Structures are given as structure tokens and as C-alpha cells.
């Protein structure tokens, strides 16, 4: 059985009987975990084991685990700082900030890998655009971004990708081509960016450089860039094919953002959203926090399948290397990375 084009969520700490059957459906290709799916490392390890044994090849297992306010697993996991803290440190000590970013990324990834998670949707490559008062224009991005200067974002994100890779994990840059210049939150509204393509070049710069540095996957923004296309980026063949695939020569995975978010609801029904996202160029689409919508998509999209090219791209996101959770505390590198997190938290600028 091959991987399907849908990534879905789970209800709780263990697989229900319904979910065991649902995950066997050929349209399913991956699972995204949330805080409600986590109680302890041991429970998470058992859950990911159950998911992995459902079928062959195993479903991809993912999570939004960036650090700061977006970290799904907390109790007994290391507290990963917000990426903006690394950006601030870069202003004072660039070389150390790059080194620390790589160590923190390795820590983030090695703990997830020890718990059976294949990858996290990180790094955030958005620019933390500031308003006239010096505050983040986009509250949903804010300190999730490394910095307001793309020249700072690039070396830190390169270090993060390097750290993830050393722990056996791929990287997912988001939110292409840039979510930092719109105030609206695409979880709840349909953001519209009124800038010209020339003005958006600044936001594209980190993606261009990180693609050259081996970025494994990209997630587009549910933002309408109305000077360029009337569709949100994840439904736009211009953004996905012309810009991302052709101009930037990106050959990795393209994930949609959650198709249940308000920013995706410019297209009324879920089956049309799924089809448009895949036709635009996404390899896999996310449907989260709405089980009836998942079932509707499965019912109405039975004819869909992934191309061999998409299959090959997705397989590269499978986590590599094996380490047992109980071995982490004995690992010198893990202990050093924990100290780095604490040092960064203690710094006052």
C-alpha cells in the first residue's frame, strides 16, 4: 500500500477502534499530533508505535513543535525557546547564536525521534514584520519568527535545518511566500496581503536561500496575495508551480496548511479544497480538528492518489536513526543542549 494524500489528526491518547480502521484507508498518508494526544513520553511512544504498525509503509507522523508558544509536548520534554530569542541573541553574538540554534534544533528533533515522531513542521521562515511602533504586525507569527531581518533569519534557519538533520529529521519551512506582513490570523480569518510581487521579494528571500540549503518540505500560507492571484497561496498554481517549483527549483514536499482553517474556506466544500490544493501542487493536505470533514473528504475523493514523484518526496521525510527515550539523559550532547536552552532563557537584553 502506498501513502495517500491526506494527513489527519487523532482524538486522544490512544487509537480508537474507528481510528484504527480509518488509518488503513488508502487516502490517508500521515497523522499530525496535538497536545491532546500527549500525556507522557511512554504514552506517546506507545501511540506512535500503534500508528506505525497499522500499515506498510508506515504512515508519516508529524507535530507542530517549534518551541515557545507552539510546542505540543511539554511535560518531560525540554522547553524549547521561541525562535525570536535566538534572533535577539544573534544581534549580540552571531556566532554563538548560530551554534546554539543548531544544538537546540538537535535537541528538539532527538526527543521527537526518541518518541517515534518523524518530523516537526519547523522552521518558521516568515519575517516578523514590525509596525510603526515596533510591534509585530502579525500576532499569529510574532516571536515564532527568528527576526524582522531576512539576513538574520537565513543563517539561523540554516543552523536549525542542520541540527534537525543531525538528529535524523527533515525540515518544513513555513508559511510560503510569507505570512508576517498581514495582521489577520488565517486560523480565524482570510488574510489579504495587498503588496506587489516586487515588495514580497523580501519575504521570499529566506525560502530561496533555505531551498538552496536543503529544505526538505514547505507549507504555503492561507493568505491571498491579491496583486498576484485571487486564490490563497496553497491553492494557487502560480505560487506553487511557477514560483516555487520553476523559479525557485524546489523539489521537496509541499504540504497544505490545515484545510479546515478559515483562510482555506474561500473554497466552500472540503472535497473541492482537497482537489484544488493537490492540483495546485501540494503533495499532501492537512485536515485537522474536524472528523466529520475528514470522513466527507474520504467519501468524496475516493478517486485520488499520489503520483510516484509525490510518493518519493514524502518517503524522504521518514525519520532516521533510532534512540531510546531512556538513553537521552545519558547522552552528553543532550545534556549540553539542555544547558543551552537554560542559558538562552536566562539572558536579559
Active site residues: 187, 257
Vertex 156: Cα angle to 155 and 159 (nearest 5)? 90
> Is residue 181 within 8 Å of residue 127, measured between CB atoms?
yes
Say if residue 174 is exposed, middle or buried (CB neighbours under 10 Å; 0-12, 13-18, 19+). Answer: buried
**CA gap 117, 63 in Å, rounded:** 8
How many residues are given for the chain?
Answer: 349
Largest Cα–Cα separation, the chain = 56
Q: Cell 516571536 maps to which residue?
A: 143
Smallest CA-to-CA distance from 244 within 194, 282, 190 is with: 282
- Tell me 176's DSSP state: E
3-state secondary structure of 172: strand
Amino acid at each position: 500500500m502506498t501513502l495517500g494524500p491526506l494527513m489527519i489528526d487523532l482524538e486522544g491518547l490512544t487509537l480508537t477502534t474507528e481510528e484504527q480502521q480509518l488509518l488503513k484507508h488508502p487516502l490517508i498518508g500521515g497523522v499530525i499530533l496535538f497536545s491532546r494526544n500527549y500525556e507522557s513520553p511512554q504514552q506517546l511512544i506507545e501511540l506512535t508505535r500503534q500508528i506505525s504498525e497499522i500499515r506498510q509503509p508506515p504512515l508519516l507522523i508529524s507535530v507542530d513543535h517549534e518551541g515557545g508558544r507552539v510546542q505540543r509536548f511539554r511535560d518531560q520534554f525540554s522547553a524549547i525557546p521561541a525562535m525570536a530569542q535566538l534572533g535577539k541573541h544573534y544581534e549580540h553574538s552571531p556566532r554563538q547564536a548560530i551554534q546554539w540554534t543548531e544544538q537546540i534544533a538537535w535537541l528538539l528533533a532527538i526527543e521527537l525521534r526518541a518518541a517515534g515522531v518523524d518530523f516537526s513542521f519547523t522552521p518558521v521562515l516568515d519575517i516578523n514584520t514590525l509596525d510603526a511602533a515596533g510591534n509585530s504586525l502579525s500576532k499569529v507569527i510574532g516571536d515564532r519568527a527568528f527576526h524582522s531581518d531576512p539576513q538574520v533569519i537565513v543563517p539561523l534557519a540554516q543552523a536549525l535545518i542542520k541540527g534537525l538533520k543531525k538528529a535524523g529529521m527533515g525540515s518544513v519551512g513555513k508559511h510560503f511566500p510569507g505570512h508576517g506582513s498581514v495582521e489577520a490570523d488565517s486560523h480565524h480569518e482570510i488574510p489579504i496581503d495587498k503588496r506587489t510581487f516586487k515588495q514580497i521579494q523580501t519575504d521570499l528571500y529566506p525560502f530561496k536561500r533555505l531551498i538552496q540549503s536543503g529544505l526538505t518540505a514547505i507549507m504555503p500560507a492561507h493568505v491571498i496575495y491579491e496583486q498576484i492571484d485571487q486564490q490563497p497561496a496553497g491553492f494557487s498554481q502560480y505560487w506553487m508551480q511557477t514560483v516555487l517549483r520553476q523559479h525557485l527549483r524546489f523539489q521537496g514536499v509541499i504540504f497544505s496548511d490545515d484545510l479546515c482553517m478559515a483562510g482555506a474556506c474561500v473554497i466552500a466544500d472540503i472535497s473541492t479544497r482537497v482537489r484544488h490544493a493537490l492540483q495546485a501542487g501540494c503533495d499532501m493536505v492537512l485536515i485537522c480538528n474536524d472528523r466529520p470533514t475528514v470522513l466527507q473528504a474520504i467519501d468524496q475523493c475516493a478517486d485520488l492518489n499520489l503520483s510516484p514523484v509525490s510518493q518519493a518526496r514524502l518517503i524522504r521525510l521518514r525519520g532516521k536513526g533510532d534512540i531510546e527515550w531512556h538513553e537521552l539523559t545519558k547522552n552528553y550532547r543532550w545534556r549540553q543542549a539542555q544547558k543551552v536552552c537554560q542559558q538562552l532563557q536566562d539572558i536579559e537584553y
